[in-house]
Chain A
């Protein structure tokens, strides 16, 4: 009985190791094919900076809000923009068939694609957060917590991009779905303003959006040196969003290729 249990755990561990390694190979391939190209970096930075400038017209915004908001936005736009087309392009060029015929599960493909976006988001956030904090004279009280918040955010947004990409049949459709998901988030998640200033109903809506938790976790890591309750909840919710988006992408992709 005990031996059987141990064997089952061994099989499960082997299967997870196999999934992770193959997903990593897919991520490396995606990074080479889709991500690490100069236009993608500039696009990931351009829209968030433009949005920040639009918000800043409304009045003075504290450097804490700017740094947290902009860092979250570059990850949102950077990862979802490319992630949204990464699956669609594979469908269009027929390379998805190559992946489907290989001994990899649909979840492995989705996870691999999410990992590529995750690394891309990390780099973009690194480019924005620390230089921006240095320029604005902002002290990040716990840089490690900030990095953890960035990591969870990047994975959640990357997985969100795949939801759009799995559903869409062609690139413009993927971009449309992606914009439909992220632009309302920018205005409803308290990106550059305190969420408490929103009407109650909008505060409730904001609680269903991953950007809200990303911005909140980053602000918390800037203002606190220890893990606060809010920070822990934010990270937990971002992890839940990631799992939900990955599962949803797998289900949608399964239906799309059926």
Chain B
């Protein structure tokens, strides 16, 4: 692609009857980049990804994927991409082997090559011993691994991964993250949709945050964090937590207080001025400080700050992701 971008999205809009799912968004994904696409449920993530992968047509706007116009040349564009959807959509009635072979056949991968690649991928994902078993008898984690393997059967130049680690145990998740890094090192561009903000922070060179169909933040994780570093954070825990959030919010110099489990994160203008005030607060309320730390803003803090989304929504998103992960 002459522009050096693998994805170019210009004024992209998708409307379902009266619902505006994606509202005039613009962004590009550079060749060889790991690009994170974040957003709460219903924000327009899946609709955008479906348009990018040619599964649904945009209402308006231009969509260039792998140098091809996805609306006018969908077959040519899809020949360069691999897609791992959020739901493990392998054929339950077919064996793991047959699922991979069928995926390769749709890309016209020659017989010898597809059999070699299927064997390699099944071994990599620890499924080779079970290759003759129907996918229907696989656990959720095994199906997830098979779905990812199917997305890699044809070596794509651009890989779309929608929640790749959801439904996987810790070990498998780590393996997938390493695989993403390895693929990227070989030049594969990655478009990663994820609930895990930490995952995006670890893997992505740039991220975009979508909310209510609009891109509300777009930059590298470190630049996003730096943009909110004017706020400092103190994380404190006391020997009890009841009604403390409200009481803490009356402290001087405090911009925001958020409770995380038995801890409170205080967004303050100056940590040096706030720590003595916290000590006084503890004495006045007969509280014992268990721990106190100063924190740099996380990517999550930055996104909360920039998007205006409540921390609870962000936390819910994370929890949903974790619940799914624990099932595997």
Interface residues of A (CB under 8 A from B): 18, 21-22, 25-26, 29, 32-33, 93-95, 97-105, 257-258
Q: Are A99 and B93 in contact (CB under 8 A)?
A: no
B105-113, B266-274, B312-320: which lies at the interface:
B105-113
Do A103 and B56 have beta carbons less than 8 Å apart?
no
Instruction: Point out the residues of chain B lying under 8 angstroms from A32, CB to CB.
Output: 93-94, 98
Please measure, in the bound complex, the distance between the C-alpha atom of A93 and the C-alpha atom of B75, giving whole angstroms.
23
Given A98-B103, A98-B150, A103-B74, 7 more A-B residue pairs with CB atoms under 8 Å apart are A94-B87, A97-B85, A98-B85, A101-B55, A103-B106, A105-B74, A105-B75
**Which A residues lie within 8 Å of B106 (CB)?**
22, 25-26, 99, 102-104
A98 touches B75 (CB 8 A): no
Given contacts A22-B105, A101-B78, A102-B78, contact A94 B94 (CB under 8 A): no
Instruction: Flag whether B79 is at the interface (Cβ < 8 A).
Output: yes
Residues on the B chain within 8 Å of A25, using CB: 102, 105-106
Task: Name B94-126 residues within 8 Å CB distance of A.
Answer: 94, 98, 102-103, 105-108
Which residues on B sit within 8 Å (CB–CB) of A26? 106
Give the distance to chain B from A258, nearest Cβ to Cβ, in Å. Answer: 6
Q: A25-B105, A93-B89 are in contact. Are A100 and B94 (CB under 8 A)?
A: no
Query: In whole angstroms, how far apart are the Cα atoms of A257 and B91 in the complex?
Result: 20
Which residues of B are found within 8 Å of A33, using beta-carbon distances?
Answer: 91, 93-94
* Contact yes or no, B89 A98, CB < 8 A: yes
Q: Which residues of B contact A257 (CB under 8 A)?
A: 55-56
Chain A residues with CB under 8 Å of B76's CB are 103
Chain A residues with Cβ below 8 Å from B102 are 25, 29
Q: Which residue of A lies closest to B76 (CB)?
A: A103
Q: How far, in whole Å, are A100 and B50 apart by their CA atoms in the complex?
A: 10
Q: Name the B residues within 8 Å of A95 (CB-CB).
A: 89-91
CA of A90 to CA of B281 in the docked complex: distance in angstroms?
Answer: 61
Bound Cα distance A33, B92 (Å): 8
> Looking at the complex, which one of A29, A100, A258 makes contact with B54 (CB distance below 8 Å)?
A100
Q: Measured between alpha carbons, how far is A39 from B225 in the docked complex, in Å?
A: 60
Chain A nearest Cβ from B176, distance in angstroms:
19
State whether the Cβ of B322 lies closer than 8 Å to any Cβ in chain A: no
Given known contacts A22-B105, A22-B108, A103 and B55 CB-to-CB distance under 8 angstroms: no
| A97–B89 CB distance below 8 A | yes
**B103 neighbours in A (Cβ, 8 Å):** 98, 102
Q: Which residues of B contact A99 (CB under 8 A)?
A: 106
Please measure, in the bound complex, the distance between the C-alpha atom of A103 and the C-alpha atom of B146, giving whole angstroms.
20
Nearest-neighbor residue (CB-CB) of A98 within chain B: B89
Q: How near does chain A come to B58, taking the closest CB pair, in angstroms? A: 10
Nearest Cβ on chain A to B142's Cβ, whole angstroms: 17
Name the CB-closest residue of B to A99.
B106
Q: How far is the CA of A103 from the CA of B78 in the complex (A)?
A: 5
Any A CB within 8 A of the CB of B57: yes
Separation in Å of the A111 CB from the closest CB of chain B? 14
A240→B279 CA distance, assembly (Å):
86
What is the 8 Å Cβ interface bit string for chain B, positions 210-244, against chain A (1 contact, 0 not)?
Answer: 00000000000000000000000000000000000
- Name the B residues within 8 Å of A94 (CB-CB): 85, 87, 89
Are the C-beta atoms of B105 and A101 separated by less than 8 Å?
no
Chain A residue contacts of B87, Cβ below 8 A: 94
The CB with the most chain A CB atoms within 10 A, among B56, B87, B91, is that of B91
Considering only CB atoms, which chain B residue lies closest to A33 in the complex?
Answer: B93
8 A Cβ contacts from B35-91 to A: 50, 53-57, 74-76, 78-79, 81, 83, 85, 87, 89-91
Top 3 A-B pairs, shortest CB-CB distance: A94-B89, A102-B106, A103-B78
A42 to B103 alpha-carbon distance, docked (Å): 31
Q: How far is the CA of A14 from the CA of B85 in the complex (A)?
A: 30
**Residue numbers in A under 8 Å from B98 (CB-CB):** 32
CB distance from B19 to the nearest CB of A (A): 13
Let me know if B89 and A29 touch, CB within 8 A: no
**Chain A residues in 8 Å Cβ range of B75:** 103-105
